[in-house]
Structure formats: structure tokens, C-alpha cells
Structure 1
């Protein structure tokens, strides 16, 4: 009886999974080395994966500039699953979006930013009485590159000596997939996020035919 139940659960899990030939979207964030590797593999995938866009970001905060990259892909599920494994084994953040999710949650946005900024932004959205939900989230575990800003007066040898200490993994980068309940609130959410220096991917701006 127990074995029969296990077989039923296994079969249900297989049915619920995306088909390997289904096309999915994903966003991957991390340092430039990881995203360079992902971009190369996407280009070499024989048209099974398309790069929708890639961004290199420099955020200037107080004494430091934080540098990171993110990329959005559309491709066959089997390829996207492979990219997820590469991403996670190299300390990146990964969010996957399926056609079913887009059909059921029409007001979707992905936020990309350091974790502390994301949390403050989510709190601000909530304080504005906007009804929304976080459907998925992920964080980097590898380092995000940081540099001392030009205005910080230190000798070059001192900056070089300090670099290993500020290129550390405590600069956590987050991805969150947000669903806004009411379409009229989308512009408000985008405005709050943009003012917080968060990069917003609005699925209304993505060509679903890609």
C-alpha cells in the first residue's frame, strides 16, 4: 500500500513538471563571470535559447560601488533547467517563469537589486496599501564585485590591499517575482521600485512570442 502511494505521488510530480520541450523564461543574476558564461552557453545552444536582454549594473552607495550583471532568457525547459544548475553551483540567483504562471498572474514583475534594498522597497509598497504577493525569490551566494568610489581618498596600494575585504559575499543580490493584484497599481509599484534604485522587469513589456 505504501509503495502504491509512493508511485502515485511520483507520477503526479511528473505530470506537474513542465515539459522539456516547453519554452520558459528565466532571470539570472550574479557577477559578470557567471553571466558571461550563461550568455555564451545561450548563444551556443543552437537557437534553443534566446537572450532577451542583459544588463551590467553599477550602484553607487556611500563609499562603495556595487557591480553585478543580470540576464533574461527564453528557451526550452530542458535548457533552462541546465542553466539553473550552472547558476546555483556558481553562487548566482535564479527565477523561472512558466507560460502557465503568466496566464494566471497577468501583472508580473521581477525586481533585481541588493537584498537590503529589496526588503526596504517591499516594505514601502506594503505601507502604500498596495495588494501584491511575492511568488518566488532567490539570492546570490557568490560574491558581488565592489569598488571604492573615486571620492574616497586612499593610496592605490591601500585600495588594492582592501579589495579582498569589500569583495565579499555579504553583498547579497536578490531576485523576486512579484504579482500585483490590481493593474491600476502597477505604475505605483514601478515608481516605488525605481526610486529605490531597483531594476524592474515588467512582463507587459516582454514579447511573449520570444
Structure 2
């Protein structure tokens, strides 16, 4: 890395690329995939916007409550959708984490936005630790799900690029890694 802003820009690029692919996945012929892709695109672009290094752009004071409001609305939608599937619970945790990070950034003094972990605190707050554990487990499980299964060499079915489950899993994995990186800098 060439400087403290490099990891931030890499995270911005990862999250923006994931958000862009999720937008493209919204063209899927399967309604549930379109709906999930929309929420994931919001997460990807929101994470990219929140990860911009403060040396390049310091958001105005109203931006953090704005992020909290947008992701709070997304959390309510995920809560409503969680009645029908467990994957929506992950969306609920993710949007809740985004609300939490936006609230922390809104209440942090301006110089704290540029500091990394361990800068003037008494350790990791409990909620940050719980979210770190959750997303670590999610990333490990998502990574294992990407591994090829022995004996699954059945006939390949040609799927549309927007309906490829392995690519959707890879996007979710990259967003989980991005969330871990963001939580580590809290």
C-alpha cells in the first residue's frame, strides 16, 4: 500500500463494483433474485460512499444522519421481508450495521473520522465486537459455499449471467469482506 488512503480506495472500488453488478442482477427473470439484488446494490453503493477516505472527501454533517435514515428504512424493509426467508435476516443485520456505523460517525468528533482502530479508545465496543464476529462467520461460510463440491459434475445448465448463483455468492462474500474492513476501522 502506498499510503493510508489506499485501503480505503480499494474498499470503495470493491463495494462500488459489487453494487454495480447487483444493479445488473436486477434484470433477472426471477422476482426474488431481483428483490435481493436491489437491496444488495443499495448496500454496495452505500458502503462505497461511506468508505471514501476522509483525506479525499469529508462528508457534510448531515450526511451521516442521512445514511442512518436510508439504511434504517432498508432495515425496516428487511425486517418485513424476514418473515419469508432467512437470507433477509442477513440483510437486516447488514443494514443494522450500516445504521450503527453511520450513527457512530455522526457522533464522532471530526478528527476521529481520519483515525484508524485503536486511536484513543478503551477497546472495541460490544456491538462492534458482535458485528465483527457475525461478519467473520458469514465471510468464512460464504467462502466455503464457493468451493466446488466433489461429485457435483452433473450436466451444466446454461444460466443467464444475472442468474448465476456462484456470482451472486461471490458478491455477497465481497460485501461481507467490505463490512469487516469497515467495522475494523471503527
Structure 2 length as normaliser, TM-score?
Answer: 0.30
Rg comparison, structure with higher value = 1
Greater fraction helix: 2
Greater fraction strand: 1
